[in-house]
Chain A
Amino acid sequence: EIVLTQSPGTLSLSPGERATLSCRASQSVRSSYLAWYQQKTGQSPRLLIYGASSRATGIPDRFSGSGSGTDFTLTISRLEPEDFAVYYCQQYGDSPPYTFGQGTKLEIK
Chain B
Amino acid sequence: QVQLVQSGAEVKKPGASVRVSCKASGYTFSAYFINWVRQAPGQGLEWVGWINPNSGVSHSAEKFQGSVTMTRDTSINTAYMELSGLRSDDTAVYYCARSLGDFPVYFDHWGQGILVTVSS
Task: Indicate if the CB atoms of B61 and A97 lie closer than 8 Å.
Answer: yes
Task: Indicate if the CB atoms of B106 and A100 lie closer than 8 Å.
Answer: no
Task: Indicate if the CB atoms of A100 and B104 lie closer than 8 Å.
Answer: no
Of B7-15, B68-76, B109-117, the segment with at least 4 beta carbons within 8 Å of chain A is: B109-117
| B residues contacting the other copy or chain, number (CB 8 A) | 22
> How many of chain A's residues touch chain B, expressed as a range?
20 to 34
Task: Indicate if the CB atoms of A100 and B105 lie closer than 8 Å.
Answer: no
Task: Indicate if the CB atoms of A96 and B59 lie closer than 8 Å.
Answer: yes
Of B24-32, B42-50, B84-92, the segment with at least 4 beta carbons within 8 Å of chain A is: B42-50
Which of chain A's residues has its CB closest to B113's CB? A44
Asked if B80 is at the interface of the complex by the 8 Å CB criterion, the answer is no
Return the contact of A45 from the options B49, B61, B104, B110 (Cβ within 8 A): B110
Asked if A72 is at the interface of the complex by the 8 Å CB criterion, the answer is no
Return the contact of A100 from the options B47, B62, B103 (Cβ within 8 A): B47
Task: Indicate if the CB atoms of A97 and B47 lie closer than 8 Å.
Answer: yes
Task: Indicate if the CB atoms of A47 and B47 lie closer than 8 Å.
Answer: no
Instruction: Give the chain B neighbours of A44 by CB distance below 8 A.
Output: 95, 110-113
Known A100-B45, A100-B46: A92·B106 in contact at CB below 8 Å: yes
Task: Indicate if the CB atoms of B45 and A88 lie closer than 8 Å.
Answer: yes
Task: Indicate if the CB atoms of A98 and B110 lie closer than 8 Å.
Answer: no
**Apart from A90-B106, A103-B44, 17 more pairs, CB < 8 Å:** A33-B106, A44-B110, A45-B97, A47-B106, A47-B108, A47-B109, A50-B108, A56-B108, A92-B104, A92-B106, A96-B59, A96-B105, A97-B61, A97-B63, A100-B45, A100-B46, A101-B44
A residues with CB within 8 A of B: 33, 35, 37, 44-47, 50-51, 56-57, 88, 90, 92, 96-103
B residues with CB within 8 A of A: 44-47, 49, 59, 61-63, 95, 97, 103-113
